[in-house]
Amino acid sequence: MFAMTLWLGNTAYLYITVAFSQMLKAIMPVAVFILGVSVGLEIMSSRMLLIMSVISFGVLIASYGELNIIWIGVVYQMGGIVAEALRLILMEILVKRKGIKLNPISLMYYMSPCSAICLFIPWIFLEKPKMDANSSTWDFHVLVLSLNSLCTFALNLSVFLVISHTSALTIRVAGVVKDWIVVLVSALLFAETKLTMINLFGYAVAIVGVASYNKHKVKKPIEGEGKTLASQSPIAPGKESGESS
């Protein structure tokens, strides 16, 4: 699921803007909650149903306000969101039902090699032939990829350090602020990003729903004095572990 998150999530950037992709990721709590209810990890309630409806409504408005929407990109992004939601659910099952407790660094140590293998196999059949056919024009940006990987590692490490010194609530609030910064900065850096008032209004509605969801989840008692894997991998709108391959 981690490999699928990387594959589908990064492919979506070929078709939709960074800002719009970030807006779609706001629906992540909805996917996690629905899957959690289906496997018995979450309990359906009128309050949670209202929160999920607000988030979905906000994402729908943001999508309606997108000027140059390419649906194949939306499909890829939604596929990545479902894969990430399944990954989080599986991690929660490992923690609550299997009693396995790993911090994000240990988790990356075990998951990254497995994900690399899962990505290597389709790469041989899907991407390698294209790279061989365009070997004269294809340029491998080692520096860009290295910096990308370094940022991904720093992101996961910072999540662990912030939770260790503060709380899960802090990282959830920081995640919301980070998402707004990503949307606004991408609009400034990339000419193809055209934000509309409908975009921003819809995303604001979705963020209100996400903030309510985070507040509701943090209020729940957390096993292991709040240091379980579930709390160490907070569900923020744009927080996908290693979302930048």
pLDDT of residue 194: 75
Whether the CB-CB separation of 15 and 24 falls below 8 Å is answered with: no
Helix (H) or strand (E) holding 20, with range, is helix 18-24
pLDDT of residue 17: 83
Angle at CA of residue 61, ends 56 and 65, nearest 5°: 145
Whether the CB-CB separation of 243 and 28 falls below 8 Å is answered with: no
Q: Please give the DSSP secondary-structure letter assigned to residue 190.
A: -
Q: What is the mean pLDDT of the segment spanning 102-124?
A: 84
pLDDT tier for residue 222 given thresholds of 50, 70 and 90: very low
Q: What is the mean pLDDT of the segment spanning 222-228?
A: 45
pTM summary value: 0.71
Torsion of CA 75, 81, 83, 88, to 10 degrees: -170
Q: What is the mean pLDDT of the segment spanning 18-24?
A: 82
Per residue in 191-210, pLDDT (tens digit) is 767 777 887 888 888 888 88
Domain residue ranges of the chain, discontinuous segments joined by +: 1-99+168-219
Per residue in 139-192, pLDDT (tens digit) is 778 888 899 889 888 887 777 777 666 655 566 667 767 777 887 787 788 776
